[in-house]
Amino acid sequence: MPEKSHLVEREVWVENRLGIHARPATQILNLARQFEAEIVLEKDGCVANARELLSVLALDCPQGTRLVVRAKGADARDAAHAMVQLFARKFGET
C-alpha cells in the first residue's frame, strides 16, 4: 500500500536581527535532514530546498522577511512544526 503523502504550509517571519546568514541556514538544513518530508522555503516566488545551504542563503532573507515553509511527505506536519519553532526561537539569536 503506498504511503499517504501530506502537504503542509506555514508562514514564518525572520525575526533575528541579522536575518538568515550561514549559522541559521545551517540550522535550517540540519533540521530539514531530520525528516523524510521534502521541505522548501518560499520567498516572493523564489523556492529553496531547505536541505541545501546555498539555496537557503540565496533567498537573501534579512530581518522582517516573510517566508512560506512547505513540507510534503509522511512526516510533513512534524517537519513544518519543527521549522516554525526554529524560526520562532530566532535561531538562538536576538
Q: Please write the tens of the pLDDT for every residue from 56-80.
A: 999 999 999 999 999 999 999 999 9
Grid cell at residue 13: 517571519
Residues 6+ apart with CB under 8 A from 38: 49, 71, 72, 73
Active-site positions read: 21
DSSP 5: P
pLDDT class of 4 with cuts at 50, 70, 90:
low
Report the SS3 class of residue 28: helix
Mean pLDDT, all residues of the chain: 95
Q: What is the pTM of this model?
A: 0.92
